[in-house]
Amino acid sequence: MKIWIDADAAPREVKELVFRASTRLKLPVVLVANQSLWTPGGSSLISSVTVRDGANVADQYIVQNAVAGDVTITADIPLAAQLVAKQIYVIDPRGEEYDERNISGRLAARDFLDLARGAGMELSGPAPYGQKDRTAFASALDRVLTKALKEKAMLQQKATTASHSDSAQQRTSPSS
């Protein structure tokens, strides 16, 4: 299980919270961006990938490399939709969790706002990132990591049980 950060626009506070969780839980973190990024020294768990410039190149890198059960941090709704479809946990930097129940509505709202901006409507952007957002993100990160780790442990236990069952069955099966 890895934590992926769509890092071009991720707030510093988000990265710091993820780095602390990585250290505490011994989980690898990969920051993906169009530019070189600073990563804390001395941690073999935290790495960064610099992709070439271009629209959605970092997004596609994450989609191609993240696997079911991983956790991704992004504010990019189309990216979140692709990841949710792959059964990857997704949290935005303000603490909203995206899943199969809410992603289509968020994608529709995002598309509507894009159309409105394209039609010349003046729309305000998001409020500055603040303490309320940081707290909501920290809470969501803790919840999602707990859920993901429990799911991973259950899958490992099922695999171990199935393996032991197969071994026992092979020992008791008559040979031909």
17-47 pLDDT, tens digit per residue, is 999 999 999 999 999 999 888 888 778 899 9
Q: How confident is the model at residue 172 (pLDDT cuts 50, 70, 90)?
A: low
Cα–Cα distances (Å) from 144 to 35, 56, 118, in that order, read: 28, 25, 35
Rg (CA), the chain: 20
Q: How far apart are CA 97 and CA 95, in angstroms?
A: 6
Indicate whether this model's pTM tops 0.85.
Answer: no
pLDDT at residue 168, as a whole number: 60
Predicted confidence band at 126 (pLDDT cuts at 50, 70, 90)? confident
Spell out the domains of the chain, with CATH numbers in brackets: 3-154 (3.40.50)
Taking CB atoms within 8 Å and a gap of at least 24, the contacts of 110-119 are 110/77, 110/78
Query: Which helix (H) or strand (E) segment is 97 a member of?
Result: strand 97-98
